[in-house]
Amino acid sequence: MRTEKVNFYSEGIKLGGALYLPDSDQNKPYPGIVQGPGFLGLKDAKHYIMMFEKLCEAGYACLCFDYRGWGDSEGNERGWVMPKWQAEDIRNAITYMQTRSDIDADRLATYGSGGTGGGNAVYVAAIDPRVKCCVSYLGVSNGRDWLHSMRREYEWVDYLKSIDEDRKKRVTTGAGAIVSAREGGIMVQTPERQTTTIKKDVADKIPDAMPLACAEAILEYSPIDVVHKISPRGALFIAVEGDAVTPEQQSFDLYEKAGEPKKLVLYRKTTHYGIYNDYFDDVAANVIDWYNRHLKYHKVEVTEKK
């Protein structure tokens, strides 16, 4: 696998990315996969790169980048999670792939893992016909339900009140509350998240503080409302049974609302973060098989009737 540092612009903001290319030039132009990182994720995470290595071996080029305001990308709003902005960034990443002579502009797909990462892969595929198929790995179907699932009912009622009050404060004072993204301001950290080392390699680069306004944006985030628009293009959903971070019901709901072709893979006896090691080879095989079905083509096609 060859790695090329790249830059492109999204709504005038310079984004930093990494393009992973197969070692062989034999199948150029390559079909391309575009990934925006998951919730509080960065493009350089090792568990992302492990998947890119597998995809490159299978003949795919993979572009992963930091959203505006994150990692190596520019942007004044550092560390904000705004799904609409992220979707724009992914769509501009797709456009960047179309400008390259070594990428097949007609064979592009989205991939996303972890919360909003998986949800973004669905959302962009639904609204952008250039995307020929998508893979959503532990994805969010509805931001309101996702945030609600982390809280007891009385906590949820209080949380909604705090978001409403913050909205009023932003209008009257010009500034809103800054909260911890992990400690209840956005997400409620699970015991597994407190001990996992899956993001250890990039943890020191990930900001924790962000505006409470980001929670409001996530409440309005609903890939399930558009997932039906992906069909007749293909959608693969991957979930973990008993997932305490992004409940599997989120993937179930996406699968039920999606048109065909579609596929749902449910893994048992693992966890939200554990799956990246426990079932890595099997997940990679399912992902590659899906892309092979929906992105690859033969230069010669024969139809015969006897």
Task: Quick: pLDDT tens for 163-188.
Answer: 999 999 999 999 999 999 888 899 98
Please give the average per-residue pLDDT across 63-69, as a whole number: 98
Q: pLDDT band at residue 26, thresholds of 50, 70 and 90? A: confident
Q: Where are the domains of the chain?
A: 2-142+223-295
Q: Which secondary-structure segment (H or E) carries 137?
A: strand 131-139
Assigned architecture for domain 2-142+223-295 = 3-Layer(aba) Sandwich (3.40)
Query: What does the pLDDT read at residue 106?
Result: 96
Query: What does the pLDDT read at residue 253?
Result: 98
- 227 contact partners, CB below 8 Å, separation of at least 6: 122, 126, 141, 235, 254, 257, 258
Query: What does the pLDDT read at residue 205?
Result: 77
Token code pair at residue 188: 């409620």
Residue 183 DSSP one-character state: B
pTM for the predicted model, two decimal places = 0.94
Say if residue 231 is exposed, middle or buried (CB neighbours under 10 Å; 0-12, 13-18, 19+): middle
Cα dihedral across residues 107, 113, 116, 118: positive or negative: positive
Q: 46-50, 160-164, 284-288 — which is least confidently predicted?
A: 46-50
- 279 contact partners, CB below 8 Å, separation of at least 6: 267, 270
- 306 contact partners, CB below 8 Å, separation of at least 6: none
Residue 66 DSSP one-character state: P
